[in-house]
């Protein structure tokens, strides 16, 4: 019997994001995906990611920790990047910042992401901005 190894699917999903291979996104993300309890759908999900890459041209997703159990993946992602203008309401203006995102994913039976609950470490970015001077 073939059993999908969810952590492998997830690593391919992250590679897809880093390659900005948007036509491939539907292989990983369900049509009716919910993001932080809002139904944004695949098209909304893709728009969100495309906007992220427009605003952060050097965006790259790095998996720091991956915890997988049943239909769930929890991942700690790290970023080292330079948002062009505002990010999370903060004036970054091209400064380089490092931060993490702790994020949970629920996959349905066919191995696609149906729910995402993400938190980005905004407080950490704020303290970096204070250190390097606004």
Interface residues toward a copy of itself, by CB under 8 A = 65, 67-69, 72-74, 76, 88-89, 100-104, 117-123, 126
Residue 127 Cβ, how far from a copy of itself at the closest point, in Å? 9
Residue 13 Cβ, how far from a copy of itself at the closest point, in Å? 16
Element containing residue 122 per DSSP (H, E): helix 122-132
85: DSSP letter: S
CB 104 within 8 A of CB 117: yes
**Which residue, 29 or 77, has its beta carbon nearer to a copy of itself?**
77
Strands 113-120 and 29-35: parallel
**Which residue, 55 or 126, has its beta carbon nearer to a copy of itself?**
126
**Which residue, 15 or 67, has its beta carbon nearer to a copy of itself?**
67
């Amino acid at each position: 019997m073939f059993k999908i190894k969810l952590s492998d699917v997830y690593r391919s999903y992250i590679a897809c994001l880093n390659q900005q291979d948007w036509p491939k996104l539907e292989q990983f993300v369900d049509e009716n995906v919910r993001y932080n309890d809002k139904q944004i759908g695949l098209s909304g999900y893709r728009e969100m990611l495309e906007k992220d890459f427009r605003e952060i041209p050097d965006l790259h997703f790095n998996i720091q920790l991956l915890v997988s159990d049943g239909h769930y993946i929890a991942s700690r992602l790290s970023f080292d990047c330079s948002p062009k203008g505002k990010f999370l309401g903060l004036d970054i203006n091209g400064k380089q910042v490092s931060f993490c995102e702790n994020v949970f994913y629920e996959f349905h039976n066919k191995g696609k992401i149906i729910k995402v609950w993400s938190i980005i470490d905004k407080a950490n970015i704020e303290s970096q901005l204070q250190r390097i001077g606004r």
